[in-house]
Structure 1
């Protein structure tokens, strides 16, 4: 990967996600500090981080299959939850020869 190339998982994140990641890094990974910055509870920040992790995991699936791409788009656009998206992709891949 060249320095100018943006990984697919990063490109799939919206500005709000990127802002959260920046605050998380600048607070040395302290969820407690991030919660304070946002004025929310620790569990709220933990849930946000968990959803962000799921979003990145979905985007990391490098399949070029149209069905998988559709499921990813639905999950990223919050039309389908990430857990269900992962199950659908996993089950779909089991039906494909050589997978």
Structure 2
């Protein structure tokens, strides 16, 4: 069975994680592998962390699931997704 947090990751994300692990977690080494700067790799890692966090928080609510999927597909940024879900939950509690 595939863990829930992996389901929202694409092949490129999984390849990045593999390289990160093989580099013993060295962002500097991963930057060298990709021929990019350290800050670029750091941003990529931060984005992956947010993807995993969103995918881990499971919800049966169709609206929340839609917002999470939009964020995972890069159609909505993670901060906006969190805000939309938070505001939606406030409204639902008031009902």
Name 1:25's counterpart in structure 2.
Answer: 21
Alignment gaps of 5+ in structure 2: none
1:41-61 deviations in whole A, cap 9, x for unaligned? 000000000111111111111
Richer in helix (by share): 2
* Deviation sequence 1:46-96 (CA, Å, 0-9, x none): 000011111111111111100001101111111100111011112212222
Q: Which residue of the partner structure matches residue 5 of structure 2? A: 9
- Cα distance in structure 2, aligned partners of 1:89 and 1:45: 28
CA RMSD of aligned residues (A): 1.2
Unmatched 5+ residue regions in structure 1?
none
TM-score relative to the length of structure 2: 0.93
Higher relative contact order (CA 8 A, sep 6+): 2
Give aligned pairs, total: 94
